Structure 1
């Protein structure tokens, strides 16, 4: 029994866009503002560069080996090592699990702006519901995510309106410019680097896309198109929204808020509840995508004996890996209750950069064996991705070591 091919190119693109948006701007913009201050847009730009290079590498790898395992399969094909591929697989599962826990924390923060519910109860109901949606099937999940993506984009367009149209653009930009510190200041640079490391988390949704390759119609054509469009749309929105938010609210105030974009709306003098509702929908989207990604990798590993074989079993009715979904959802719930948002996001970024490094090495090796692929990137690109990922990871360690 195989996973059902139920995703076309538009659905895959919306799936990817919603995954990136749900994991990023709504949940993490306050924490990134706290690190980079008024240079937050630069942090998003640098993170977008890292994501774009690695996204192109993933696009080629996904056309060479379309598999629910994603980088697990790429590393296995390149290094011919089932053991190392299993290590990468468990790292990917950890990324999905920790990321979903991060998003669940963000959801609780936004919901608290609307109704007072104990955080543990919010997270429990959220994750159990999304686990059920993930079990229902890929098409059902994708349509749910397409709708929530549209709602989430509307919320970001509202923030752009507040920053660039509702506020006096000339006055807002002058205030922004005069408040922005000199980038050559050492503490400012370390803040931008720390923020860039954190902002990588905001782009990881493109990595989730390759894990539904086996459920995508014509994946060798659809995957590169969907990855490029999703990354481009999200990069433009992230940079624009970060500028708009800072033209309305100071970075320190954003950093202290559990629902930073709601704070922007209130500061501009508008009712908060419409944006709260839109925020909750897109955050739901991001959490669902992480659950699906982690369970698909567990399914792939269960089939290939890199994990207990019962993870590789599909339900006869829904054609989804029910056992993997149940276990993943429960682990996410435990992490979301046990750890704070920023710590979870930092852990996700670190694991993700390690996976990027392994994927770039895999493509370098595969290109030496066989140059042709349905989608080819320039031969130097995986080297660039390797250097950027290593540099950002090492730079973050140095920044943390300096006590920033």
Structure 2
């Protein structure tokens, strides 16, 4: 009996009306163009100047273009599922809230906790990357940064705190605390500048393309490696897929979006289409300028290719824009992270103060908590090791959201609103989406799988010790099925 009661409690579903009421305290001011700006800021980031060259050299050669298309198809399946979910359930917290309504609070918590890993690490990791760019820029001007503030905690090098990473996070948090509308305007400006530089790279780079660099387009497979052939293309797609995981960062803002039923699907699919187009074009130019093998272990292949062809001004401009462009990803992910933390507080799974909003309808308490935690994380943890949590946590959410369509569809038009956007070819595509994400997850390295297992286990402990006892569902149980 006790076991049945506990199982019943874990599977209690939250009422969508509760989320509608609570999230009505948030101000709807995000437009469709803002969603696409957030998505492109997240998806494209600086990866567009690095990922094509690295994947081409390590996995697929000139067929990196096919790898991007395969990755886009897999990500597109998840985007379709996200689009329908956000259309019917436009709540803060995205997958956490959706799964709580469809499968039960405990499962929603597991998905939300997995996403929290993505957001924590992403905020700190992007800030750390910006710090590296900034330190290199200052050192090129002859400014030496003291070791004590020159990186994360490291007894060997003598560094205590990465001061530039902390400043980057603080700067973005201050911007977000003043309102989503203002942050979106700045995000759109940064993304616009980034797109202009991408166009500039393509215009210049295409004049330096040599057709022989595309041959053989699909290099033969090297035995014992993941390079070449179909295996190389798929291995490249697994790496590239991670570039598309920004969908949840868009969906997390559904409660603050104008007309989310239409805007969310457009924002999600618009991000995918525009992002994929840009990746394919840049890849085509980059592998055409030089033989793909020269990009192996090259941290800035696009800038290098421009310098090697004598376009020094464009190369330096690209490096500066990469420095500024990292802020666009930081704005998107910190915004999404604060809304997820707000959702945990809203449901009383973490202290309720996290679910409070101020007189400007902003969940700033949640924002500053995630800011402080990210600064601490960015100062002490080794990101080359923990960055794998980003993709693992997101893939867990993708699998749940894809399967969630089967629980959502029967309720549409009954106790849930009718969907303004639906996943086509139902019930086939949701299953393919879940299988694709599962395949990518299984191809992650062993460290990633161990880390996400430990992280989820920690989440279960937190839920048992705090969330289970304090959840708002404790007081609603008699009203829930």
Same fold by TM-score greater than 0.5: yes
State the partner residue of 2:220.
182
State the partner residue of 1:8.
31
State the partner residue of 1:302.
345
Alignment of 1:106-255 (within 5 A): 106-116=129-139, 118-119=150-151, 120-164=162-206, 166-167=207-208, 169=209, 172-178=210-216, 181-183=219-221, 187=225, 188=227, 191-251=232-292, 253-255=294-296
State the secondary structure of the residue aligned to 2:98: helix
1:43 pairs with 56, 62, 67, which one? 67
State the partner residue of 1:391.
439
CA RMSD, 1 decimal:
2.6
Q: 1:362 to 1:399 in 2, by over 3 A?
A: same
Which structure's CA Rg is the greater one?
2
Gaps of 5+ in 2: 1-23, 140-144, 152-161, 450-481
Kindly indicate whether the alpha-carbon contact (under 8 Å) linking 2:286 and 2:302 is maintained by their aligned counterparts in 1.
yes
Q: Deviations over 1:27-59 (max 9, x none)?
A: 645553453251433332222111111001100
1-structure distance, mates of 2:48, 2:373: 24
1-structure distance, mates of 2:53, 2:348: 41
Q: 1:26 to 1:302 in 2, by over 3 A?
A: farther
Q: Deviations over 1:171-215 (max 9, x none)?
A: x22123148522585622555444323322211222211111111
2-structure distance, mates of 1:336, 1:30: 27
Gaps of 5+ in 1: none
Deviating more after overlay: 374-383 vs 295-304: 374-383
Q: 1:137 to 1:361 in 2, by over 3 A?
A: same
2-structure distance, mates of 1:312, 1:192: 44
Kindly indicate whether the alpha-carbon contact (under 8 Å) linking 2:68 and 2:240 is maintained by their aligned counterparts in 1.
yes
Q: 1:150 to 1:90 in 2, by over 3 A?
A: same
- What is the number of equivalent residue pairs in this alignment? 395
Kindly indicate whether the alpha-carbon contact (under 8 Å) linking 2:213 and 2:290 is maintained by their aligned counterparts in 1.
no
Q: 1:398 to 1:346 in 2, by over 3 A?
A: closer
1:375 pairs with 421, 429, 439, which one? 421
Q: Deviations over 1:344-377 (max 9, x none)?
A: 4432111111110011111111113337412111
2-structure distance, mates of 1:151, 1:338: 33
Shift of 1:125: 1.7
TM-score by length of 1: 0.89
Q: Deviations over 1:252-297 (max 9, x none)?
A: 5534333333223222222232112221222110011111101101
Shift of 1:86: 1.5
2-structure distance, mates of 1:202, 1:76: 27
**Between structures 1 and 2, the one with greater helix share:** 1
Deviating more after overlay: 36-45 vs 250-259: 250-259
